[in-house]
Amino acid sequence: MVQMSPTGGSSKLALNNLEYILEASTNEVADVVVHSAFSEQKWVWLEDKDEGYLPGQIVSGSQNQQSVQVALNDGKRQTCMLTISTGPNVEDAAQLTYLNEASVVQNLRLRYLSNKIYTYSALFLVAVNPFQSLPMYSDETVALYKNKRRGELPPHIFAAADQAYHDMIRNNENQSILITGESGAGKTESTKRVIQYLTTIASDQKIGKLEQQILQANPILEAFGNAQTVRNKNSSRFGKFIRIAFSLGGTICGAHIDYYLLEKSRVHHQSQKERNYHIFYQLLSADDEMKASLLLEGKLSDYRYLKDSSRVIEGVDDSLELQKTMVCAQDAFLRPNDPY
């Protein structure tokens, strides 16, 4: 039974990914607390003085309305008034009082809206793609996160990289960082930030700009393994396993990139809004001399594997990209014994 009381009170309800405060009006609910939806059927828990928690189901009401009707299992219905609250904002989703999909998503959303794109979820770090350049990856930020314990500073990809580095040194064990997410989520960007962090804190100054050397392999890998898709104009269509080797003293002494699972079917079929691998468009944008040396003739529309695809990527000049690929390829051939 739901207790009725003449005094006012407030309660919380998670609905449609928003957290509401339910306010009891004077002669309605008082100690009724609706905590959270626990399924997509808008089931809610109602706190009850005698029974603890009672399951109820929202039978009418929406975000735009002032109240919702909650049906209890004993057939009674209760009207609850709604006020939208801003909801939780915690650095670790594990700290949420009510752990359900709605409150986790709402927490990520609120943090994202104030440019806090990183949030812990117990052992994991969740990154929300900001799709804009945020001033959070400077050398000063790297220095700030160095040797810090988790929790001392806000969640950050640098904190994850620092933890892996120190666990390796402390336990003398190999460490792995798994970066996963759907296409366009920001995996490649996160990988670059991990490399940036490790090469900054663990490089021997005599060796030079390690980060640049490791990332220098990117143009050639991306030319042959990346393509424009509807989700990401520079989507990696292969998996990458990057191994960074450290000396016993903790400085980087080598790096190796393994690749796997190239999306081969893209070579012969692309949808109209997507492209084949960048390299094809880059080569066809080359000057006449280079095209002749590669026995390339004609335009994109003359090639069966390219003519039905999207042609250009907004903001990308394929001939400039070709130059970067060429520099990268020449570097690789000119320095075959370079450990990096």
Q: Which of 78, 107, 235, 325 binds ligand ATP (CB under 6 A)?
A: 235
Tally Cβ neighbours within 10 Å of residue 259: 14
Q: Are 236 and 188 in contact (CB under 8 A)?
A: yes
Distance CA 122, CA 116 (A): 17
How near is the Cβ of 255 to ligand ATP at its closest, in Å? 19
**CB-based closest residue to ligand ATP:** 186
List binders of ligand ATP among 106-145 (CB under 6 A).
129-131, 133-134
For ligand ATP, which is the closer residue by CB, 158 or 280? 158
DSSP codes, 251-283: -EEEEEEEEE---GGGGT---TTS-SBHHHHHH
Q: Which of 234, 246, 259, 300 binds ligand ATP (CB under 6 A)?
A: 234
Distances (CA, A) of 126 to 116, 157, 194: 11, 9, 14
Q: Decide if residue 154 touches ligand ATP (CB under 6 A).
A: no
How near is the Cβ of 222 to ligand ATP at its closest, in Å? 10
List binders of ligand ATP among 165-224 (CB under 6 A).
181, 183-189
Q: Decide if residue 313 touches ligand ATP (CB under 6 A).
A: no
How near is the Cβ of 185 to ligand ATP at its closest, in Å? 4
List binders of ligand ATP among 270-309 (CB under 6 A).
none
Q: Which of 107, 163, 199, 236 binds ligand ATP (CB under 6 A)?
A: 236
- Helix spans in the chain (H): 101-113, 139-145, 157-171, 187-201, 210-215, 218-225, 278-284, 288-293, 318-334
Q: Are strands 124-127 and 118-121 parallel, antiparallel or unpaired?
A: antiparallel
Give the residue numbers of the binding site for ATP: 181-188
Interface residue list for ligand ATP (CB under 6 A)? 129-131, 133-134, 181, 183-189, 232, 234-236
